[in-house]
Structure 1
Amino acid sequence: MTLDQASVLVVDDVEANRDLLCRRLQRQGYTVQVAEDGVKALELIRAEPFDLVLLDIMMPQMNGYQVLEELKADPNLRHIPAIMISAVDDIDSVVKCIKLGAEDYLPKPFNPVLLKARISACLEKKRLRDQEQAFLQQLKEEQEKSERLLLNILPKPIAERLKQGERTIADNFTQVTVMFADIVGFSQLSAHLSPAELVEFLNEIFSQFDQLADHYGLEKIKTIGDAYMVVGGLPTPRPDHAEAIARMALDMLVDIKQFRTKYGESVRMRIGIGTGPVEAGVIGTKKFSYDLWGDTVNMASRMESHGIPDCIQVTETTYQCLKDRFLFEKRGAIQVKGKGEMVTYLLVGKSEK
């Protein structure tokens, strides 16, 4: 809004007063509308945007005090300044108007030079307030954008702790379930794709997995090339962490079947799951990340790398957590790097019990 483009509403029950004010304001370049009483004034104010209201006090149906009070009580309208112009010029009336939120007060008959100066000052203050509100709204939007970016990197509880000033975040969790998923034969698949096509291909798959993680209330930790890592039970512990991971893993095998390369090749995955204690924390001060460490993480990774395409391989510990609610096939003893011979199981579905 510029001062000479302002929209002004004149409210007065006397037609001669309305016409006089209207002509003077129009000569000064303002857009002017009039209302003959307080009820009509509020109807117009709620229907159209105004930069200023010139308001008489003594009016039938609804007087100027009542209009001013309603105007300032409405959060959507209270920013509109009001100048009271009235034949009632006693100090009590002036004080009452100011207390109700009037920007200024002029007695009738008004001085046209003083009126022009008061209106200009009033509109300038409104322009500055509008400018301030626009800046604050922009600042709020930027803060919300930064918050969303931060929550794309860190779990919300961890982000809150960082914002509160914690410098070192390192926690122990006694029981969580970790899952790794990897695309089978990814090197061969990617050889036929351009860099842009490869990124788009992975983004489409991992975005689908992100939706599953959100659906089951799980925490995505990271992607490493074509591998996807997610955990249940942290940073907020939950008793059904293994069950939630198992349900997501089964859904992932269903969803991956819908994906095809541009040459029509199907996409296959290996999935590995491990359950147990982990350490978790934030690493770095630049391009920082929230990550996990411990034998449970290593075992989940081994379950994936030593797994079978289109299958979900789990450790003995995970099997014990889930055997009453899910269906398994015993794979038997396999050689696991760094661990030797281990008995593992394949998760094949949900139990009908």
Structure 2
Amino acid sequence: MSDPASSPAGAHPPPHTLTPFLQALKAGDLETLSKLRHALRTPLNQIIGYSEMLMESAEENNARSILPGLKGIHSSGGQLLAVINDALAPWKIETGRIDFPGMRQAMRAPLASILTQAGHCLEKSRVSGHNDLVKDLEKILMAAHNLEKLFQSEAYSGELIVGRPTPAADEGATDPGPLAPAGAPAVTPEDFGLSAQPMPNAKILAVDDDPMNRDMISRRLEKLGYEVTDAGTGREALQKLKDGNYDLVLLDILMPDLDGFQALEFMKADPRLRHVPVIMLTALDDVASTVRCIEAGAEDYVPKPFNPTVLRARITASLEKKRLRDQEQAFLAQLQVERSKSERLLLNVLPRAIAERLKAGQRTIVDSFIDSTVMFADIVGFTRIAAKQSPHRTVQLLNELFSGFDRIAEQRELEKVKTIGDAYMLAAGVPVIRTDHAEACAEAAFEFLEAVRVFNRRHSLDWGIRVGMNSGPVVAGIIGTKKFSYDLWGDTVNIASRMESHGQPGKIQVSEATKKLIEGKYEFTPVGVIEIRNSSPMPTYLLARKEGKK
């Protein structure tokens, strides 16, 4: 987004005539009249603001000879502010009861005082060599001349008390009086909170179409320790917000091309910018503008000319809210990371379906499954193997082999139930029902045998495993509340274990129940009948792939 104006300073020059406002008064154009306060208070904001900064600089630079003059400028600026607030009170604008000649008469003396005292202070500063004060004094003179030019309009003469008086006004409505006190007292360095520590590394974007306003705001905030960037238009501000990260935006309302309200709406519509706090700055000073700012999402609203202590306090409060909000977001992000870690750990212990039920608050989880297949794989002669090498090496090799089994189980979408020493137990059809449970386990068993062969070649070992399978109903659930695990119970489990323990190294032994489920897909070699505790003798079979099938 580019700024269409070649220069922000030239994009919106301050008005030097009251003619448009007089015409607006005659036409009953309240919207234009509401901007009159802004037009008059902009140079006043500069007069008061620069005089405050100069008083501080004069103390620091041993230029106390101009302090009385600076205080006089500040006091006269306060008088002008009181006159404008009274003459252009919102109720007078709404009823059209604005007395321009009376306002001009009341402003003449304090304005003349400002011009005179600023000229004297400027001359003294040049003579004493305080060149750092000269530029700001010249800005005060420029602002005073701009204010003076506003009242040199030829359309200014005559009594202008016109408009649409309300019944209350005709009946002698009471003037509510000035909306602001007659100027703020002179400030000291302590008023700027120079001893207070600002939010570390806080970056503030100051947006105002008037160069002198931007200069004043930037210098005030930089002295408080903030890093300040300025923008002269709403478009320029949005581009800078897009390109950088800011902790706070000070946003003027009345600007050319894209005003403060529109810029605020764009910010709140952007997910990346909507949480950046915005303090609106304006000389409009009316309730409607305040309400509109807050409703649009502004954090706060400060009328011009602003009291530096109030502005500092509101900036500090807004930055503190942002700091807490950022802290909360960081905490939530870290919480999500830890939650993800916990969930991954939980899924390493429990099936996903069971973990979801636990997270939902279910305390007792016990399920019956009519059709399932259970498989055991056990390392042959593991005690002898373990005795030949260090415990560390044994566990390292066992972990490598079983991790390979884990990958096979995951790829086949089988449920690893547990490891018992050197035995590995898995199931199919539990806890997620599937009709091909027996075939899925059979394919995994063949892959287990191949994984052992690859493992042996890699490490020059001769490890072997026995595999046993059985199919039938099981009961599955969680045992205990601490160090719990998901386990299976029932005769189907016991028989599968016997299939493995009575099996042969490098072979897959299955029960009659499993054979019936996958018959025709594999080759079966009868082994004989085995005795099983608490059960009748049972025929068993060695499982093999059909010839030519891999």
Normalising by the smaller structure, the TM-score range is: over 0.9
How many residues end up aligned between the 2 structures? 352
Which structure has the larger Rg?
A: 2
Instruction: For residue 275 of structure 1, give the secondary structure of its aligned residue in structure 2.
Output: strand
Superposed CA deviations along residues 213-251 of structure 1, whole A, max 9, x for unmatched, are 111111111000111100010112111111221221111
Cα displacement (A) at 1:80: 1.0
* Aligned with residue 530 of structure 2, among 331, 335, 350: 335
Following superposition, the deviation at residue 340 of structure 1 comes to 5.9
Q: 1:38 to 1:350 in 2, by over 3 A?
A: farther
Q: Identify which of 423, 429, 439 aligns with 1:233.
A: 429
Task: Tell me which amino acid in the other structure corresponds to 2:279.
Answer: I
Q: Distance in 1 between matches of 2:390 and 2:275?
A: 55
CA contact (8 A) 1:57 1:64 kept: yes
Correspondent of 1:109 among 286, 305, 322: 305
- Structure 1 residues 347 and 47: alpha-carbon distance in aligned structure 2, compared to 1, 3 A threshold: farther
Which digits, 9 at most, give the CA deviation of each residue in 1:236-275, with x for residues without a partner? 2111111221221111111221214997213221111110
Aligned partner of 2:115 in structure 1 is none
SS at match of 1:75: coil
Stretches of structure 1 that go unaligned for 5 or more consecutive residues are none
- Aligned counterpart, 1:267: 463
2:441 aligned to 245, 257, 271, which one?
A: 245
User: 2: CA distance between counterparts of 1:202 and 1:62?
Assistant: 69
Q: Are 1:328 and 1:345, in contact at CA under 8 Å, matched by a contact in 2? A: no
Tell me the distance in 2 between the aligned counterparts of 1:257 and 1:202: 14
Equivalent residue in structure 1 for 2:486, among 283, 287, 290? 290
1:171 maps to 2:376: no
Task: Supply the AA of the counterpart residue of 1:78.
Answer: R
Among 273, 278, 284, the alignment partner of 1:88 is 284
Residue 276 (str. 1) matches residue 472 (str. 2): yes
> Which of 251, 257, 264 is matched with 2:453 structurally?
257
Are 1:5 and 2:215 counterparts?
no
Secondary structure in structure 2 of the residue aligned to 1:321:
helix
Q: Is the alpha carbon distance of 1:21 and 1:54 closer, same or farther for their aligned partners in structure 2, counting shifts above 3 Å?
A: same
Structure 1 residue 4: deviation in Å?
4.5
For the pair 1:218 / 2:422, whether they are aligned, the reply is no
Letter in 2 for 1:136: L
Structure-1 residue corresponding to 2:543: 347
For residues 53-112 of structure 1, what are the alpha-carbon distances to aligned partners after superposition, in whole Å with 9 as ceiling and x for unaligned? 111122233221122112122222222111111223221111111111110011222222
Check conservation: 1:10, 1:54, Cα contact below 8 A.
yes
> In the alignment, what sits opposite 2:260?
64
8 Å contact kept, 2:198–2:224: no
Which residue identity is paired with 1:330?
T
Pairing partner for 1:134 from 305, 321, 330? 330
Greater CA drift, 194-203 or 235-244: 194-203
Q: How does 1:43-58 map to 2 (within 5 A)?
A: 43-58=239-254
* CA gap 1:291/1:4 in 2 versus in 1, 3 angstroms: closer
Q: Which amino acid aligns with 1:12?
A: D
Q: Please say if residues 476 and 488 of structure 2, whose CA atoms lie closer than 8 Å, have aligned partners that are also in contact.
A: yes
CA contact 1:261–1:267 (8 Å) conserved in 2: no
Structure 1 residues 349 and 37, CA, compared in 2 at 3 Å: closer, same or farther? Answer: farther
What is the aligned partner in structure 1 of residue 219 from structure 2? 23
Q: CA RMSD in A?
A: 2.2
**Matches of residues 181-192 of structure 1 in structure 2 within 5 Å?**
181-192=377-388
Change (3 A) 1:265 1:89: same
Distance in 2, Cα, partners of 1:5 & 1:304: 67
| Matched-pair contact (CA < 8 Å) for 1:259–1:266 | no
Considering fraction of residues, name the structure with more helix: 2
Q: Which runs of 5+ in 2 are unaligned?
A: 1-196
Counterparts in 2 of 1:286 and 1:2: CA distance versus 1, 3 Å: farther
Give the TM-score taking structure 1 as reference length: 0.93
| 8 Å CA contact 1:328, 1:347 repeated in 2 | yes
Taking the aligned partners of 1:170 and 1:188, their CA distance within structure 2 comes to: 39
Query: How far did 1:166 drift?
Result: 3.1
CA distance in 2, matches of 1:76, 1:194: 57
Contact 1:81/1:103 (<8 A) preserved: yes
1:121 aligns with 2:317: yes
Higher strand share: 1
Q: Deviations over 1:27-70 (max 9, x none)?
A: 11101112222222222222221111111122233221122112
Task: Kindly indicate whether the alpha-carbon contact (under 8 Å) linking 1:274 and 1:315 is maintained by their aligned counterparts in 2.
Answer: yes
Query: Aligned AA for 1:219?
Result: E
What's the TM-score once normalised by structure 2's chain length?
A: 0.61
User: Which amino acid in structure 2 is aligned with residue 332 of structure 1?
Assistant: V
Q: Is contact 1:37-1:59 (8 Å) kept?
A: yes
Identical aligned pairs, as a percentage? 55
